[in-house]
């Protein structure tokens, strides 16, 4: 085995060993509750720890300077291995899923999609519910960034992993001189927001356990809940307002939050072009959906706007929380809400989707082409926030959007070929690829009724969307494997 492959094996072994630690917090909770699931979480820990040790120990001393392409392989491999490890407790503990469903549930948690195949969440032990929320917490900022933050001993070249893992078109920017410090700063801000969110939920009437779980899944824009009715279980306007605020914060760039904390100012929020566009989009969509609900006779005006604001922010940040459900809302509202997930939140956030910055660039590039047709000899620039965007970035964003939509169409056709009805097929892939969670048709509440092949396709779509297409698709090109 070459030194390069040995170095990659060493990293994968360390990552599996790191993933083995994930079941420990729910194991402690199970022991505290006197729950029989403690054995399942211990077994999951032991299995992963042994496999990780077997892979890592023989090559622990290997050192090799990995290349940029290795960052893509390690990132994709890390997610796949972490998902497989994370699926073990779902197989061994209630509700004792099949491997297909267990992998789907673990994928949904780690990619912060929030789709589920479980019906009867209220009957599950607290340890299992906490485990689901914990997966969302870890996946929110990204397992790879966590590894870069706490395992600098990997010597893998943190920037390679950070570029492959980070979301958005401006992922090369660093908040601090060292990439490990950048990752730690992002995790500190992320965890701080979760703690504040959990306290707010608790003060609003949630139990401490529910507040902690929902804090992790709100700021992580994941959408996993502890009840089949999701946030609708609490039937509280106050809780909905808190959720709306922290979902929106989760959909903002965490670089902005870091600057706000570091410099004790909010002025840079007002100056950020992407954030201002996201806010305008939320306001416009809320008015459109709210008016549709009011004019359609579904709710009184004030209540219509309340439900519209919550669901718009939930969908555009790809959190996927629901209260009263939106699939049977009148007019264009359900379709608009699903389509909002394609836009997603800001670059550098925990949201899925294409990201506001990319949509902004693509639209302005389209407008530039129209101007160019009218004035063939004119020189027009694509600008964002008053600054010119380089042609290389514009081309890269256009390529990303093309592959994103093409991937969506191919996987939708695959589901349709399996016999899934068209509404369910297009919304299931939209919900999976955009890491949204709830869709329409048979997947409005859960994915339990889909056959195994369709579930595997949706699992792949969730990882593809979380890794923003390029990181995963590059592995399927022959050029990647050529020296």
Question: Which ranges in 57-125 belong to alpha helices (H)?
Answer: 68-92, 99-110
Write the CB contacts of 419 (distance below 8 Å, at least 6 apart in sequence). none
Q: Does the pTM exceed 0.85? A: yes
Closest CA to 469 of 384, 410, 391: 410
Q: Is 78 marked as a binding-site residue?
A: no
Number of residues that this document lists for the chain: 483
- Count of H-run helices and E-run strands, the chain: 21, 2
What is the predicted pLDDT for the residue at 250? 95
Tell how strand 387-388 and strand 383-384 pair up.
antiparallel
* 146 known ligand binder: no
CA atoms of 359 and 199, how far apart (whole Å)? 35
pLDDT at 39: 97
Distance CA 337, CA 277 (A): 17
Report the distance separating Cα 460 and Cα 454, nearest Å.
10
Task: Round to whole Å and give the CA distance between 355 and 341.
Answer: 9
Contact 144, 54 (CB under 8 A): no
Instruction: Kindly state the helix (H) or strand (E) to which residue 387 belongs, with its residue range.
Output: strand 387-388
CA distance 79 to 339: 26
The pLDDT tens digits along the chain (483 residues) read 688 899 999 999 999 999 999 999 999 999 999 999 999 999 999 999 999 999 999 998 888 877 878 888 888 999 999 999 999 999 999 999 999 999 999 999 999 999 999 999 999 999 999 999 999 999 998 765 765 554 444 444 444 554 565 566 554 455 666 767 778 888 999 999 999 999 999 999 999 999 999 999 999 999 999 999 999 999 999 999 999 999 999 999 888 998 888 888 888 898 888 999 999 999 999 999 999 999 999 999 999 999 999 999 999 999 999 999 999 999 999 999 999 999 999 988 899 999 998 999 899 999 999 999 999 888 888 887 778 888 888 888 899 999 999 999 999 999 999 999 999 999 999 999 999 999 999 999 999 999 999 999 999 999 999 988 988 999 999 988 886
Q: What's the pLDDT at 430?
A: 98
pLDDT computed for residue 156 by the predictor: 44
- To the question of whether residue 267 is assigned a binding role by annotation, the answer is no
Judged by DSSP in three states, 437 sits in: coil
Question: 436: annotated binding-site residue?
Answer: yes
Q: Is 113 annotated as a binding residue?
A: yes
Q: Does the annotation place 319 within a ligand binding site?
A: yes
| Whether 55 contacts 16, CB under 8 Å | yes
Per the listing, tokens 């020189």 go with 379
The reported pLDDT for the residue numbered 157 is: 47
């Amino acid at each position: 085995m070459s030194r390069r492959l040995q170095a990659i094996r060493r990293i994968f072994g360390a990552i599996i060993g790191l993933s083995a630690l994930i079941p420990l917090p729910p194991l402690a909770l199970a022991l505290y509750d006197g729950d029989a699931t403690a054995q399942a979480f211990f077994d999951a820990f032991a299995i992963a720890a042994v496999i990780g040790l077997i892979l890592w120990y023989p090559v622990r001393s290997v050192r090799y300077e990995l290349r940029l392409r290795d960052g893509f392989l390690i990132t994709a491999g890390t997610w796949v291995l972490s998902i497989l490890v994370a699926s073990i407790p779902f197989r061994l503990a209630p509700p004792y899923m099949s491997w297909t469903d267990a992998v789907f549930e673990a994928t949904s948690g780690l990619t912060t999609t929030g789709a589920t195949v479980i019906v009867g969440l209220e009957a599950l032990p607290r340890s299992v519910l906490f485990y689901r929320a914990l997966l969302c917490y870890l996946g929110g900022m990204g397992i790879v960034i966590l590894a870069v933050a706490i395992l600098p001993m990997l010597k893998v070249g943190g920037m390679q992993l950070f570029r492959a893992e980070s979301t958005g078109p401006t992922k090369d920017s660093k908040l601090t001189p060292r990439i490990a410090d950048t990752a730690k700063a992002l995790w500190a801000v992320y965890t701080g927001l979760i703690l504040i969110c959990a306290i707010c939920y608790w003060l609003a009437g949630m139990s401490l356990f529910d507040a902690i779980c929902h804090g992790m899944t709100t700021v992580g824009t994941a959408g996993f809940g502890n009840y089949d009715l999701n946030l609708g279980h609490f039937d509280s306007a106050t809780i909905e307002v808190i959720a709306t605020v922290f979902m929106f914060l989760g959909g903002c760039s965490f670089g902005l939050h870091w600057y706000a904390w570091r410099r004790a100012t909010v002025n840079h929020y007002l100056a950020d072009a992407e954030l201002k566009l996201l806010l305008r989009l939320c306001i416009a969509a809320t008015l459109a959906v709210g008016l549709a609900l009011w004019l359609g006779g579904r709710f009184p005006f004030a209540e219509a706007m309340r439900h519209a604001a919550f669901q718009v922010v939930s969908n555009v940040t790809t959190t996927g929380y629901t209260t009263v459900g939106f699939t049977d809302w009148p007019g264009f509202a359900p379709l608009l809400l699903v389509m909002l997930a394609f836009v997603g939140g800001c670059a550098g956030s925990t949201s899925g989707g294409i990201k506001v910055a990319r949509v902004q660039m693509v639209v302005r590039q389209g407008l530039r082409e129209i101007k160019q047709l009218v004035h063939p000899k004119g020189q027009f620039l694509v600008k964002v926030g008053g600054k010119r965007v380089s042609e290389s970035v514009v081309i890269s964003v256009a390529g990303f959007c093309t592959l994103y939509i093409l991937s969506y169409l191919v996987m939708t056709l695959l589901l349709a070929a399996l016999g899934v009805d068209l509404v369910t097929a297009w919304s299931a892939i939209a919900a999976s690829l955009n890491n949204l969670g709830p869709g329409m048709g048979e997947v409005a509440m859960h994915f339990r009724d889909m056959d195994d092949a369709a579930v595997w396709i949706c699992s792949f779509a969730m990882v593809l969307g979380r890794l923003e297409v390029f990181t995963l698709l590059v592995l399927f090109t022959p050029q990647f494997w050529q020296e």
